Amino acid sequence: MAIGPWHVKAHIAACQARFRARAQPGAGWSFGDNIEHLWAYLRRYAYMLKRMSVAGRQDLLNELVRCVFIDAVSMHVESLA
């Protein structure tokens, strides 16, 4: 379990040292705040999502996250070409 760099600064020093993402075995150095960008993207759909059924909400969230993932992969593939 790890805490992203954006949130880790709000924790006490002992917690930072133990749970910061870069201290976890096998973790690489990366941007680290990807989840924050995902939440910001999904936030624009909050008005619609909170009025949906649980099943409809889950379907839309799955589709939105899938689209974000496909866009990210496409961007990486284009940069390698």
* Residue 21 near residue 3 (C-beta atoms within 8 A): yes
> Does one domain contain both 25 and 37?
no
> Does one domain contain both 78 and 44?
yes
Question: Could you give the CA distance from residue 41 to residue 43 in angstroms, rounded to a whole number?
Answer: 6
> Does one domain contain both 43 and 57?
yes
Residue numbers of the domain that contains 19: 1-30
> Does one domain contain both 80 and 54?
yes
How many domains does the chain divide into? 2
pLDDT, tens digit, 9 for 90 and up, residues 7-52: 666 667 777 677 676 666 766 666 556 777 788 889 999 999 999 9
pLDDT, tens digit, 9 for 90 and up, residues 43-78: 999 999 999 999 999 999 999 999 888 877 676 666
> Does one domain contain both 54 and 78?
yes
